[in-house]
Amino acid sequence: MSRLEAKKPSLFISDPLTKDTVSQSLSLLNRILKSCYGPAGRLKQLHNGVGGYVCITSQSSAILGRLSVSHPVLKVLTASVQNHIARFSDCGLFTAILCCSLIENFKSLHVPSCTVIKISKHLLSLCTDYLKSEACGCRVSVDFSNLKTLLCLARSILTSKPACMLNATEVDHLAMLIVKAFMFTIPCHVETKAVLGKCVTVPVKGRRVLDSTVLPGLLIETPEIQFAKLLSVKRISSDTIKIALFCVSMSGDLFNPEEGTITVHHRISLEMSELNQLLNVGKQLVNDEVGLVVCQKVIHPSLKQYLKENQVMAVDRAGLSVMEPLSQMTGSKPIASIHSFSPSCYGSLKDVCTKSFGSKHFVHLIPNDTVVCSLVLCNRNETAWDELKCACETAEHVLQLTIKEPLALLGGGCTESHLASYVRYKTCSLSTSSFKDVDCSQTQYQLIADAFCRSLESVACSLSHDDEILTDMVYGHCWLVPSGFPSVSNWSDLLSKCGCGINSNTQNLNWRLLQPHFGSPTIQSCPKEPSVDAADLLTLDCFAAKYSGLQVAVETANLILDLSCIIEDQN
Amino acid sequence: SASSLAAAAVAGAVRGALGPRGGRALVLRPDGRPLLTRDGRRLLEALCLQPPTARLMAAAACRHRGATGDGAKTFVLLLAAVLRGLRAAGGAGRALPDFERRVLEPAAALGLRRHLLSAFPGEEAEPRVDLAALEALLDAYLRGRVGPGERRRLARLCREYLGRCAARRPPALRLLGRHFEALHAAVPGLPLDGSAVLPGVVLRRDFAAYSPASGAAGAVVVTEPLHAGPSAPGVELVVGSEGQYEAARRWCEARTEAAVKRLRSSNVGLLLSSVKQQDVVIYYAKLYGVSVVECLSAEEVALVREITGVSPYSPFGDNGCSEITDTAAVTFCRPLLLGSKRYAHIGFASSACAFQPHCLVLCGPVDGVNEQHAAAIQGAFTMLQQLFKTVDGREECRSKGESQSDALDVCSRHSSATQKQLTVENICCNSNQVSEHQLKTHRGETDTQIVDSALKGSENPAGIQTASQIPSNPASHSEELNVPCRGAGSSTDAQKPHAKCEHSGEMHKGYESDLPVDNQKNYGTAVLTTDNANTVTVCERLDVGKDLEKASCGIIPFKHEEGCVSVAQNYSSSIIEAGSVLPVGGYFEILLHYYIQYYAKQLQQSAVTVISSVVADALLIIPKSLHGTTEGNSFAKFYLKTTNALRKNQPLPVNEKGLESVYCKYQLVISVLHCVTELLSIDLIIGVKRPLQKIEDNDSDDDL
């Protein structure tokens, strides 16, 4: 009998955005995220009241994943940013800050949300068209024959995560490792559709960052291998070892939950027969001159012993995660049957050796074709290691995104301020027909365009937490005034390079303060594209991630502005 | 008055989401997941209303929305307005059925008709939606369902999707509506611009085994594991010796290997499984180059079966040697990376009803938005199906005596108002031709219950009938043989065939060519129409066409959709023809408002006149709330402009590109009036403790 319970009526809240609670929690979230942004971002310590694991971080993925947001509107916002991070890994804070600022700025205008949405959609298309066009002044194309831009990309990501606790040499070392690991994963023989390989991160905690390294092939942790000092593996030739990969349990257990009852007559041992079968498998492997057997699950000790006696190395409990890269790397097919298998399933390896890092022992499988590599990542303590791992994975992902679309955006706030000045310039010279298109007056359009630009600039402003930020009127780039100097009239004495490092202070660029709270002068000319002179230490951002983040931020802000009511199911 | 208050409260809740300027609602589901929606049905469901009358209203609104794909919010608003009006007028609800027959139907059939546009421009036998009209319809529909920034992009996407699927006719639209769940994939975290239409079907699973060579081979669907061990649950295996057990296991694996080998030798490259296959099967599949997708959902399996026409393959069903013939042709099969998930992307060669399977990939920042978009597009498919329907049946449920006297009333009024020129001989002759023809076509069919229609025919006292109604009897009798192919709705139609003298000859030809092909399909559609509850009625309006330029009354002995539409361009007896559309933005309501007043003036009966003014005024609530949110008096301007044009007989001043289906709109008004009738006839609400048992109504199913 089913039990019927009366459903409680839902809670209906109309016009949620006009409520104080929303604006308060929104601005709190915005302040938290802004303070995390950039290389000088402040760290956040996340822990619960009853102790346990403490997380020190400034990354959006870590913060948003652990923060429990109660308000439904903020839930939508954080879900949206988290989805963006899941797709692109990078630019999560950018998306979140921009989205919060857009909502706050648009909300204060008191223009009907329908009009705001239409206009901001139009402004967004201005930005995206510009970023996609050849004339775009804030993007650089990435040349894969020159590693410099790739290193810049990796370095920018590492430096923007202060919780990794890295110094300049360590950043350089890791950036080099990341690019090297990325290079390993690119297949040498490209067919019609190239598939990138995999970089497996191996954790080694409590060691110096400079001990980190990249190795081609896979490392499988095996605690017992330390006893076998000398590795004697049967080889077919000096650089070929046959490998067999099993995904079925070789433990000799009979237990299978799916099957029915088995009645066994007295004095018949099925375990015995199972073990015999395993030993038959061992014989076949030896006969087929297999040198290495890797099993996803457990291998029976007798079989292991037998294989060892015949100079066949056996590695068990490899786990599901290594199966795919292992099969990709060796060309072997995981065998799922211990009754019959054909020699066509075997793969080959170049070499096998043992490696030790700290207290951990590994078998190192070296393939012929290195599409799989292992990044041995060291850091001093647990929390810093977690942060570093996240940063390295982000960098790896960004490089993968960049190979799809070989472009990068200028970092250090320059893209944001440049885009803002471009939009300001464009909206000054807009024809009346485009106002008709979006069904609004020119004043409304100007108001919203200004709020849009201020939101973009406020992202750039969050890069500095105490210092003043300037923008120039020629390139529209972002300049950071070093702290400790009083406000002076002649800024050119203090400034050396812009945020991304592409422009240096060679001429008077007509600076002004970048303050998102005041209206800014109309811009008469389109911001120029700087002449790129292979500057070494550029700060670069991932194009795909920022491009999508910009769109997601505007779309999410529109989504939230469009809310007319909230219905909370109380059941 | 309680119901009036409840309706007003519900209307207040949904008003914010109405129309192009409406906002969306954020619904927090019991499990905490946010859902964004502007769909009236979802809103009403999410509100978990408690007052019984409010629940009744919400249920009626949802029922209407489910049937037509549109209008739950409008339903509630209109219902609230009518109830309020009736309360103010002091309750004249009993005259509602009379109003419907005497004022509403003439207003729609005679007044509204001349303003209607058609979405089927071609003179094809099987109408399909015009591309331009499709875009206008989708645009208008989505305007009320998604945010202002997303509407245009989604409408374009949806039009492209329908175009590439070749789904502009009801069968394909129905298939889309049924299987859209499996025909779209949502990717959260990307901007809407990333959305795309992909050829083929995207299954929400990665390949368990993939071999690139399996592209151009066939596919089979399995619903059971290919591998079975020596013992199974509920089966006891007695082992006599070690060798025996080993041999049994070996045999089982060999059997699995043979099954996979057999697939390969029958040129099967792809195994689609609804269950998880064991590792052994995957291993052998990899070895023999067969790709495997497992753990498919029931919807996906149903979709694949429907578009390919294959039935599940049972591996151990036959002797295991013959070649597998029931395979689906696959054009390509490859893994697809959407967002961070891998899916199986499979192209099936086109098949049933010329439907080209395509997959719609929807991108949005959050899942809630993707859900909203998917639901909106699925609703659009339902809405487009309504375009092919006509409002033409008479309702069966009325008591006969009443309807007869009404018919007398109405007919005499009409025959006096319009001078009919049809001669009895002519019609008789024509109907005889019709009946002969029908007998020829349908001789093979077995007859079922049409006693009903025959009875009704004989019940009509001849004296009451107008001249042109008399010849209808032979035709209706001759249709007895025809009925089985048209379903339950035919008994209504049989009563009132019309004759159009000049064109009847041509029409017969039309039927000759149409019928044998379309029988099956028509049957399906007819069933669907009657299924959708509120079949609206047309009474015997011989003068329906009179107000049109051509003074003709249509002969539609076959009232099924396709047949009807092919002739509907010239002559029709339906209130609203298939494919009728109007510009969006309150034109329908203002037109109906105007014509209800116009036709109500001709009546003396006070109760009906009162109701007429109540409904006419209530209708204005829709354009009012559509225009209300912007600058002050835009509604008044719009109203004056439109009614002035109507008075002067000028074309409507339209600056809207969007279109809406008149069928849905008219159906909405009828449903609201029925709901009002229902609400007003309840005098006591009794709370019970035990859950109410639902009484199975077998007859409704059997009738079809």
Residue-level pLDDT at B328 = 86
B384-412 tens-digit pLDDT = 888 888 876 444 333 333 333 333 333 33
What is the ipTM score, two decimals? 0.90
Q: Taking CB atoms and an 8 Å cutoff, what residues of chain B touch A7?
A: 48
Q: Which residue has the higher pLDDT, A490 or A569?
A: A569
Share of chain A above pLDDT 70, in %: 91
By Cβ distance, the residue of B23, B30, B237 closest to A262 is B237
In-domain check, residue B106: no
Reported residue count of chain B is 704
**Rounded Cα distance, A227 and A248, in Å:** 26
A55-87 tens-digit pLDDT = 899 999 999 998 888 888 999 999 999 999 999
| Dihedral class, residue A552 (left if φ above 0, else alpha if ψ from -120 to 50, else beta) | alpha
B523-569 tens-digit pLDDT = 333 333 333 333 333 333 333 333 333 333 333 333 333 333 333 33
User: Cα–Cα distances in Å, from B413 out to A167, B409, B613?
Assistant: 96, 6, 21
> How far out from the chain centre does Cα B118 lie?
18
Over 50: is that where the pLDDT of A127 sits?
A: yes
Contacts by residues A65-72 (CB-CB < 8 Å, ≥ 24 positions apart): A69/A25, A69/A29, A70/A25, A71/A21, A71/A22, A71/A25, A72/A16, A72/A566, A72/A568, A72/B26, A72/B28, A72/B34
Q: Which chain B residue shows the shortest CA-CA distance from A1?
A: B691
Show which of residues 381-440 on chain A sit within 8 Å of chain B, judged by CB atoms.
none
B76-110 tens-digit pLDDT = 999 999 988 888 887 666 788 888 888 888 888 88
Instruction: Tally Cβ neighbours within 10 Å of residue B517.
Output: 12
Answer whether A563 sits within 8 Å of B24, measured CB to CB.
Answer: yes
The DSSP output letter for A527 is P
Q: Which of B419, B269, B410, B230 is nearest to B348 (CA)?
A: B269
Same domain for B289 and B151, yes or no, is: no
Over 90: is that where the pLDDT of B463 sits?
A: no
Strand stretches in A256-401, DSSP E: 261-264, 292-295, 313-315, 347-349, 351-357, 360-366, 372-379
Residue-level pLDDT at A3 = 55
Read off the CATH number of the domain in which B58 is found: 1.10.560.10
Q: Lowest-pLDDT range, A162-171, B149-158, B519-528?
A: B519-528
> How far out from the chain centre does Cα A140 lie?
21
Longest distance between any two alpha carbons in chain A, whole Å: 100
Q: Lowest-pLDDT range, A335-349, B261-275, B441-455, B630-644?
A: B441-455
> How far out from the chain centre does Cα A198 lie?
14
In-domain check, residue B686: no
B32-68 tens-digit pLDDT = 888 898 888 888 888 888 888 888 889 999 999 988 8
Same domain for B444 and B591, yes or no, is: yes
Answer whether B149 sits within 8 Å of A120, measured CB to CB.
Answer: yes
Q: How far is B87 from chain A (nearest CA, A)?
A: 27
Most confident of B207-221, B469-483, B686-700: B207-221
Answer whether A569 sits within 8 Å of B28, measured CB to CB.
Answer: yes
Answer whether B149 sits within 8 Å of A334, measured CB to CB.
Answer: no
**B352, B373, B405 - which closes a domain:** B352
- Tell me what the pLDDT averaged over chain B comes to: 72
By Cβ distance, the residue of A7, A273, A571 closest to B242 is A273
Q: What is the DSSP string of B8-76?
A: HHHHHHHHTT-STT--EEEEE-TTS-EEEE--HHHHHHHHT--SHHHHHHHHHHHHHHHHHSS-HHHHH
Q: Lowest-pLDDT range, A262-266, A380-384, A403-407?
A: A262-266
Q: Which residue has the higher pLDDT, B528 or A568?
A: A568
Read off the CATH number of the domain in which B195 is found: 3.30.260.10
Mean pLDDT calculated for residue range A200-222: 90
**Rounded Cα distance, B533 and B528, in Å:** 9
Q: Lowest-pLDDT range, A228-232, A280-284, A388-392, B115-119?
A: A228-232
B564-618 tens-digit pLDDT = 333 333 334 677 888 888 888 888 999 999 999 888 888 877 888 888 888 999 9
Answer whether A270 sits within 8 Å of B245, measured CB to CB.
Answer: yes
Answer whether B149 sits within 8 Å of A118, measured CB to CB.
Answer: yes
Show which of residues 160-189 on chain A sit within 8 Å of chain B, judged by CB atoms.
none
The DSSP output letter for A413 is T
Give residue A307's identity as a one-letter amino acid code.
L
Question: For an interface test with B, which of A264, A295, A565 has the most B Cβ atoms less than 10 Å from its Cβ?
Answer: A565
Q: What is the DSSP string of B578-610?
A: TTEEEESSSHHHHHHHHHHHHHHHT---HHHHH
Question: For an interface test with A, which of B10, B15, B21, B26 has the most A Cβ atoms less than 10 Å from its Cβ?
Answer: B26
Q: Establish if B242 touches chain A: CB-CB under 8 angstroms.
A: yes
Please name the residues in contact with A364: beta carbons below 8 A apart, sequence gap of 6 or more.
A215, A217, A218, A219, A352, A353, A354, A355
Same domain for B195 and B205, yes or no, is: no
Mean pLDDT calculated for residue range A303-324: 89
Over 50: is that where the pLDDT of B473 sits?
A: no
Name residue, tokens 């500095």.
A464
**Rounded Cα distance, A142 and A31, in Å:** 34
Q: Which chain B residue shows the shortest CA-CA distance from A260?
A: B233
Answer whether A12 sits within 8 Å of B13, measured CB to CB.
Answer: yes
Number of domains in chain B: 4
Q: Establish if B693 touches chain A: CB-CB under 8 angstroms.
A: no
Question: For an interface test with A, which of B242, B336, B345, B363 has the most A Cβ atoms less than 10 Å from its Cβ?
Answer: B242
Question: For an interface test with A, which of B261, B276, B366, B631 has the most A Cβ atoms less than 10 Å from its Cβ?
Answer: B366
**Global pTM value:** 0.82
Q: Establish if A504 touches chain B: CB-CB under 8 angstroms.
A: no
Query: Residue B383 has which token pair?
Result: 């809405």
**Rounded Cα distance, B33 and A445, in Å:** 35
Q: Establish if A9 touches chain B: CB-CB under 8 angstroms.
A: yes
The pairing of strands A351-357 and A55-57 is unpaired
User: Cα–Cα distances in Å, from B215 out to A365, B28, B163, B283?
Assistant: 33, 44, 25, 19
Q: Establish if A342 touches chain B: CB-CB under 8 angstroms.
A: yes
Same domain for B173 and B310, yes or no, is: no
Q: How many CB pairs under 8 A join A and B?
A: 211
**Rounded Cα distance, B8 and A567, in Å:** 18
In-domain check, residue B704: no
Same domain for B217 and B147, yes or no, is: no
Same domain for B346 and B376, yes or no, is: no
Instruction: Tally Cβ neighbours within 10 Å of residue B130.
Output: 18
A336-365 tens-digit pLDDT = 888 888 888 899 999 888 888 888 888 899
Answer whether A569 sits within 8 Å of B364, measured CB to CB.
Answer: no
Answer whether A564 sits within 8 Å of B233, measured CB to CB.
Answer: no
Strand stretches in B305-371, DSSP E: 328-338, 341-348, 358-364
By Cβ distance, the residue of B243, B280, B339 closest to A337 is B280
B415-449 tens-digit pLDDT = 333 333 332 333 333 333 433 344 343 433 333 33
Residue-level pLDDT at A486 = 63
Phi, psi of A210 (to 5 degrees): -70, -10
- Tell me what the pLDDT averaged over chain A comes to: 86
In-domain check, residue B160: yes
Q: Establish if A111 touches chain B: CB-CB under 8 angstroms.
A: no
By Cβ distance, the residue of B20, B232, B287 closest to A333 is B287
Show which of residues 220-279 on chain A sit within 8 Å of chain B, judged by CB atoms.
247-248, 256, 258-265, 268-270, 272-273, 277
Same domain for B375 and B331, yes or no, is: no
The pairing of strands B328-338 and B218-222 is antiparallel
Query: Residue B583 has which token pair?
Result: 């510009």
User: Per-residue confidence at B370, pLDDT binned at 50, 70, 90?
Assistant: very high
Query: Residue B450 has which token pair?
Result: 């049409």
Same domain for B156 and B259, yes or no, is: no
**B661, B676, B691 - which closes a domain:** B661
Same domain for B396 and B372, yes or no, is: no
Q: Which chain B residue shows the shortest CA-CA distance from A274?
A: B246
**Rounded Cα distance, A60 and A82, in Å:** 8
In-domain check, residue B669: no
Domain of residue B588 covers 111-119+391-661
Reported residue count of chain A is 571
The DSSP output letter for B285 is H
User: Per-residue confidence at A106, pLDDT binned at 50, 70, 90?
Assistant: very high
Same domain for B188 and B75, yes or no, is: no
B477-508 tens-digit pLDDT = 333 333 333 333 333 343 344 433 334 334 44
In-domain check, residue B561: yes
* Angle subtended by helix axes B400-417 and B451-459, to nearest 10: 60
Answer whether B287 sits within 8 Å of A558, measured CB to CB.
Answer: no
Please name the residues in contact with A428: beta carbons below 8 A apart, sequence gap of 6 or more.
A522, A523, A524
The pairing of strands A563-568 and B24-28 is parallel
Q: Which of B194, B247, B82, B208 is nearest to B612 (CA)?
A: B82
Q: Which chain A residue shows the shortest CA-CA distance from B14?
A: A565
Q: Which of B312, B329, B345, B306 is nearest to B204 (CA)?
A: B345
In-domain check, residue B54: yes
Query: Residue A548 has which token pair?
Result: 């999508």
Q: Which residue has the higher pLDDT, A128 or B226?
A: A128
Q: Establish if A14 touches chain B: CB-CB under 8 angstroms.
A: yes
In-domain check, residue B702: no
User: Taking a C-beta distance cutoff of 8 angstroms, is the pair A385, A377 a contact?
Assistant: yes
**Rounded Cα distance, B477 and B487, in Å:** 16
Answer whether B257 sits within 8 Å of A340, measured CB to CB.
Answer: yes
Over 60: is that where the pLDDT of B248 sits?
A: yes
Same domain for B512 and B643, yes or no, is: yes
Residue-level pLDDT at B215 = 64
Q: Which chain B residue shows the shortest CA-CA distance from A566?
A: B26
Q: Taking CB atoms and an 8 Å cutoff, what residues of chain A touch B44?
A: none
Show which of residues 79-108 on chain A sit within 8 Å of chain B, judged by CB atoms.
79-80, 82-88
Q: Establish if B152 touches chain A: CB-CB under 8 angstroms.
A: no
**Rg of chain B, C-alpha, whole Å:** 29
Same domain for B115 and B193, yes or no, is: no
Residue-level pLDDT at B603 = 80
